[in-house]
Amino acid sequence: MSDSSGPWRPLEINVRFTAESLAELLDGGQAFRWNRQPDGVWRGQWANHVVELSLVGPTSLQWRPITPDTLTSAATLQRYLRLDDEQHDLHLDVLPWRSDAHLRKCITAFPGLRILRQPFGETLLGFLCSATKQIVQIKQMQALLAERHGSLTALNCHITRDKPAHPPLSPPPNTDPNCHITSENRIYSTGDKVFIMPTWRQIAELSEEQLRACQLGFRARYIKGTADYIKAHPGWLEQTAELPYAEARTALCVLPGVGEKIADCVSLFGLGHPQAFPVDTWMIKSMARRYGLDGWTPTQVAHFGRVHFGPSAGLAQQYLFAWERAHGGR
């Protein structure tokens, strides 16, 4: 394990994880800025925080900040991972796992899985990138957006992990020449800076062509349109974050490229509305196979999910989604 980022620190938790459930939490489609390093350590970013995280036992995580201690604390990470949420066990307990054998199996298979507490604006951008794309492709788009149009933040220390035999031919635009960052968001030099995601204000200043150059394709038009809408409606992000689920979902669907699925993803992962039940192709297959909903539309499946699983339907969705990705028809 690399010693490049300072000493590891224990993260106090009362949660049991497995390697599989931690991977699903960090890299299962909720967030798109986590990468597992060759030594098994996870490095992730959200807002202006950069950390490394490692599972050292069923109930033991260790971590170290890459951004300065004054910016990223253990409490910051616990909040992001929702390890500080006293309501999580209640949300889990109210799910119908006692009468739903498949849900019970999913919960048992992925202990510790929960809903991350992510920044709203960043989550919205991530899911606007997600249309018809797999997770690895969404991560590539996000990394390019950060490299080319994001901001720089100070690091806590020098990074030497996985330094390549041959550094990049040239540094990305607007970087310190000592700081080389790949599309996988790994830092390969002794530079003291790293890119964070652009804000919606920054994106509004870009052209659609500049966005397309980040491998966004047709999504560039939606992202540019959303940025322009947010710019024309000052306070929209803050106001929408305060709305109840149904009203927030309606407000999100006004944005270019946002339909029911993306609105539910953002509501669940970025706004913390636990009743949101996102339905994509994985969930269509899962609900048809496990609950007999063959031929149902996504809108019908989402309604069934909210009714059957109740006020914590979004948490159930994560367990079902994780099982489907890992086991498919089994």
Distance, in Å, from the CA atom of 187 to the CA atom of 160, rounded to the nearest integer, reads 8
Read off the pTM: 0.86
| pLDDT above 90 coverage of the chain, percent | 74
Domain with CATH 1.10.340.30 in the chain: 120-269
Q: Does residue 161 surpass a pLDDT of 60?
A: no
Distance, in Å, from the CA atom of 75 to the CA atom of 271, rounded to the nearest integer, reads 20
pLDDT score for 193: 63
| pLDDT above 70 coverage of the chain, percent | 86
- The mean per-residue pLDDT over the stretch 251-276 comes to 97
Average pLDDT score, the chain? 87
pLDDT score for 329: 64
- The mean per-residue pLDDT over the stretch 33-59 comes to 92
- DSSP class of residue 20 equals H
pLDDT of 168-215, one tens digit each? 323 333 333 333 333 333 332 234 468 889 999 999 999 999 999 999
Domain with CATH 1.10.1670.10 in the chain: 87-109+274-330
pLDDT score for 154: 67
**Which CATH fold topology does 9-86 show?**
TATA-Binding Protein (3.30.310)
Q: 3-state SS string over 235-278?
A: CHHHHHHCCCHHHHHHHHCCCCCCCHHHHHHHHHHCCCCCCCCC
Distance, in Å, from the CA atom of 206 to the CA atom of 220, rounded to the nearest integer, reads 10
Q: Does residue 42 surpass a pLDDT of 80?
A: yes
pLDDT of 3-19, one tens digit each? 445 799 999 888 899 99
Q: Does residue 139 surpass a pLDDT of 80?
A: yes
Domain with CATH 3.30.310.40 in the chain: 9-86
CA 135 to chain centre: 10
User: Of 3.40.50.720, 3.20.20.140, 2.40.50.140, 1.10.1670.10, which CATH number belongs to 87-109+274-330?
Assistant: 1.10.1670.10
Q: Which CATH architecture has domain 120-269?
A: Orthogonal Bundle (1.10)
Q: What angle do CA 190, 187, 141 make, to 5 degrees?
A: 155
pLDDT score for 14: 81
Q: What angle do CA 119, 88, 98 make, to 5 degrees?
A: 135
pLDDT of 202-236, one tens digit each? 999 999 999 999 999 999 999 999 999 999 999 99
